[in-house]
Amino acid sequence: MQRIALTGGIATGKSYVLARFAALGAPVIDADRVAREVVEPGQPARDALRARFGPAAFDADDRVDRRRLAALVFDDAAARADLEAIVHPPVRAVIDDWFRNPPGGVPHPFGIACIPLLFETGRAADFDCVVVTACSPATQLARLTARDGLSLEDGRKRLAAQLPTGARTAGADFVIRTGGSFEETDRQVERIYRALEVRS
């Protein structure tokens, strides 16, 4: 199975594109979903998070509160590095195992893992092909503030803290421009899906 990575900046449509690839028949896995699973009660990463960040990172039901945790690490590089050191290794292990053992035991020419921090974690070379979602910063900001209820100032801070879109697209094999209609995005996804079939 060819290892395909899907990545892109915040609010560039990664989840939508991943769902479209899945609808076309590609096996997919989402690193964000895996990251939520590895910090569930009983998982080692959860205990490590509590030891490092304390109750401030947990909600009233004693589950990891991703929004609170994000606030704790956003302006603290050392805390962010600690968070990544706790969560990234088990997420990577789950994704690597997923590629070694195709879902349902049914072979497919390729599988797609959505990994938002692909370039930031130096993982691009681990994949046979990289697909990047991209749109204008103005579109990202509008989507982000609407989706997460952020102020424009906070939204701009989130965007400024990320790797620039140009740096991502420079390392891509395929770029999906998501600033237009859903139909335009769908056509790009289908075209790339067919190209990946040929490459595999």
In angstroms, the CA 100 to CA 87 distance is 21
Beta bridge partners of 5: 113, 130
What's the pLDDT tens digit per position in 18-39? Answer: 999 999 999 999 999 999 999 9
Tell me if residue 162 falls in helix, strand or coil: coil
pLDDT along the chain (200 residues), means of 10: 96 97 96 95 91 93 90 89 95 95 81 96 96 97 93 91 93 97 98 92
- All structural domains of the chain, each given as residue ranges with its CATH number in brackets, are 1-27+110-200 (3.40.50.300), 31-101 (no CATH)
Q: Rounded distance, CA 105 to CA 127, Å?
A: 21
Give the Cα separation of 5 and 27 in Å (integer): 12
pTM: 0.92
